[in-house]
Structure 1
Amino acid sequence: MKFAWIDLRTVPQARLEAVVDAAIHTRMQGVLCDDESVLKALPPTVTAVTTAAVTEEKQLYGLDADAAWVDVHDEPSLRLACAAAVALPHTVVRFADPTKIPLEIVLAAADRSAGKLITVCADLEEAATVLDVLERGSDGVLLAPSDAGEVFALARLLEAGTSPLELTTLTVDRIEHHGLGDRVCVDTCTHFAEDEGILVGSYSTGFILCCSETHPLPYMPTRPFRVNAGALHSYVLGPENRTNYLSELGSGSTTLAVNSEGRTRPVTVGRAKLESRPLLTITARSADGTVVSLTVQDDWHVRVLGPGGKVHNVTELRQGDELLGYLATDQRHVGFPIGEFCKEH
């Protein structure tokens, strides 16, 4: 679980109380401050940290400490940060290099250590980057907010990680072939795993796991960044239980990669390709009778996933085949879940 420490040392006095209240309200893990009266007023749920409690770089070479602060500005200080991150329970690191390469090195060095790495961030934008470096990110961030609003924004950023989904087994009822229609290929800025794709469906209450083009194809190379997802009207499930129409995705959009075990991660869309192709519709049912529908390109190389990550070419699907899907309990209004009556067919 990612966490944050709030640095109060540069917060203007007029805003200090509001910032402290925001830190408590959002359950920030720690507060860094050298004013003992401020720290003593904190509830026990918030860790009080002083600079006196954090061993400085010049005292660190024996690595006999509980927490360390390392300013990384050259190779020796980078080596020290790596050693501290491996050996100590908490290591706060401030990087002079604006790139994230030194952070990547420290993360790699401390990959299997039990300690927590906290990276000093100049602003919320840097915090968002730091939390995702090497697909792992820093365990925590240290931010000096200008006001209480930045504390609440940081809390939302920490909560933005995606939770796993409980996928369900769907049984194919029928396959119907159609004429031409517009379908969307979603080209992302990531490599999908072989059992990974995106959840797409014609109805807001049911989705089928569409496979990425990570598996060998005749006549063309694999494209592990792409999902041939479905007709442009289809819903695609994104982060925070939001949906978009496939027609709405474009460069810079975010959608949700999902694997056969339900693990999820947000991915950035590089582009969406809309082209006219022959279409087919897959109709399937869950064990409780929920109907799920998906219209995709009528082509052998378009694939969907079944239990255990089994790959199915859509043109070879038959009644009784099992697919992986996701059932949502809410209807949708402009992508948001809403508890209203709505019948889709």
Structure 2
Amino acid sequence: MRFAWIDLREVPRPQLQAVVDAAVHTRMAGVVSADAELLGTLPPTVTRVLVPGGPASASAAAPAPKKEAKDSGPAKDSGQPKDAGQPKDPKPGIDVLLRTFTTQDDLDALAAHHRDATGTPVAGFIDVRDDRTLQLSCAGALVLPYTVIHFADPTKIPLEIVLAAAEPGEGELVTVVESLEEAAIVFDVLERGSDGILYGPRGADEVFALARLLEATTPQLQLSTLTVESIRHVGLGDRVCVDTCSHFEEDEGILVGSYSSGFVLCCSETHPLPYMPTRPFRVNAGALHSYTLGPDNRTHYLSEVGSGMALLAVGADGRTRRVVVGRAKLESRPLLEIRTHAEDGRLVSLTVQDDWHVRVLGPGGKVLNVTELQPGDELLGYLAADKRHVGLPIGEFCKEV
């Protein structure tokens, strides 16, 4: 389950309280600060992460310089079981101490003492800027409960290396990000992404936007069995092939229908075809007027689908995932209308290219050629409860024929 920690250390003071309130309201997983008193005011629903001694900023170019022993900061005493100036009683309202490690000795100390002298759990922070610190971060990800990493360079290759190295570990990896756009990318690296992110927002609105990003998952759909009523050759028209940036599974496709109330699961070209190579990224979807379903429960006309748009890939068991369109091809072809009905009698219609190579999916992921369909055959589809206006669900009267 991906999560976010909100870094308060560089939030402008006029926005600080609003950011704190937003973090609590949206149930962010954690809040990071150098102010123990501030963290102590937060509810226990938030993981309160203290950077003791006024901390190396997670986005700093290098560890904080050494200070006097009474205020050494995380860069100096990282993970040592006893710290000068460290109170011996547990800190009220602090859940995790975040300490910098820059050497193997630092890491060994952190790993040996998962709790500091106060009894508070300790996590590690490292700034990765070369091969030595990259290897050290990999080692940390294997032994620490939390490893917070700032990558100095914009490439995501070091993150990929840490994710692969951390696979056997039980701890959680938290990646520092500079923007919401970067957060979305970090969550997708190697398909699994970083467990969490550390982000310093400029205001409360960015906290709410981050909350929406964390909730951006695709739903499990309850597919229905549709029974074919009729198949009719309707003549020449324009149809759309949707080429995505993903490889479809054998039982996956996209949902397409002439009416926004019902869709048929159109098969991808993952299966072998005579005379043609497989194109496992493609769905020969249907006529340009047709609706298809996106990951945000919004429909789009196939005529609107284009490069960069996100659609919903759907499996025969109702599982879904987000796929990005690389290209849409609009070409004139003979068309075939397929009329079906659901168990409740609802009409579900689909118009596709009139060719044996175009296929839809039936129960159990059975692949069916559209030109061989007969009345009584069963297809997989999805029945939408909402009427639509400009693709969005709306509670109004709407009749489609």
Structure 1 segment 190-269 matched on structure 2, within 5 A: 190-269=246-325
Shift >6 Å, 4+ stretches: none
Q: Aligned pair in 2 of structure 1 residues 15, 331: CA closer, same or farther (>3 Å)?
A: same
| 1:139 paired residue number | 195
The whole-number CA distance in structure 1 between the counterparts of 2:264 and 2:152 is 46
Q: CA deviation at 1:216?
A: 0.7
The whole-number CA distance in structure 2 between the counterparts of 1:20 and 1:269 is 38
| 2:99 paired residue number | 55
Paired amino acid for 1:60: L
| 1:39 paired residue number | 39
| 2:359 paired residue number | 303
Question: Deviation per CA, 1:271-312, whole angstroms, max 9, x where unpaired?
Answer: 111111011111122222222111100111111111221111
Question: Deviation per CA, 1:42-73, whole angstroms, max 9, x where unpaired?
Answer: 11211100124123223213533352212222
Deviates more, 1:333-342 or 1:261-270: 261-270
Q: Aligned pair in 2 of structure 1 residues 177, 112: CA closer, same or farther (>3 Å)?
A: farther
Report if aligned partners of 1:61, 1:80 keep a CA contact under 8 Å in 2: no
The CA RMSD over aligned residues, in Å, is 1.4
| 2:145 paired residue number | 89
The whole-number CA distance in structure 1 between the counterparts of 2:355 and 2:374 is 15
Q: CA deviation at 1:245?
A: 0.4
Deviates more, 1:176-185 or 1:155-164: 155-164
Q: Aligned pair in 2 of structure 1 residues 114, 325: CA closer, same or farther (>3 Å)?
A: farther
2:395 counterpart of 1:339? yes
Question: Deviation per CA, 1:116-170, whole angstroms, max 9, x where unpaired?
Answer: 2111001111111111112221111110111111111111111122122111222
TM-score, with normalisation over the residues of structure 2? 0.83
TM-score, with normalisation over the residues of structure 1? 0.96
- Percent identical: 70
Q: Which residue of 167, 186, 200 maps to 1:111?
A: 167
| 1:153 paired residue number | 209
Report if aligned partners of 1:305, 1:323 keep a CA contact under 8 Å in 2: yes
Paired amino acid for 2:353: Q
The whole-number CA distance in structure 2 between the counterparts of 1:107 and 1:310 is 37
Larger RCO of the pair (alpha carbons < 8 Å, separation 6+): 1
Q: CA deviation at 1:112?
A: 4.9
2:117 counterpart of 1:73? no
The whole-number CA distance in structure 2 between the counterparts of 1:113 and 1:49 is 21
Which consecutive residues of structure 1, in runs of 5 or more, have no partner in the other structure?
Answer: none
Which consecutive residues of structure 2, in runs of 5 or more, have no partner in the other structure?
Answer: 53-96, 115-121
Q: Across the two proteins, how many residue pairs are aligned to each other? A: 345
Q: CA deviation at 1:240?
A: 1.4
The whole-number CA distance in structure 2 between the counterparts of 1:69 and 1:236 is 45
Report if aligned partners of 1:207, 1:292 keep a CA contact under 8 Å in 2: yes
The whole-number CA distance in structure 2 between the counterparts of 1:209 and 1:114 is 39
The whole-number CA distance in structure 1 between the counterparts of 2:380 and 2:358 is 15
Q: Secondary structure at the match of 1:134?
A: coil
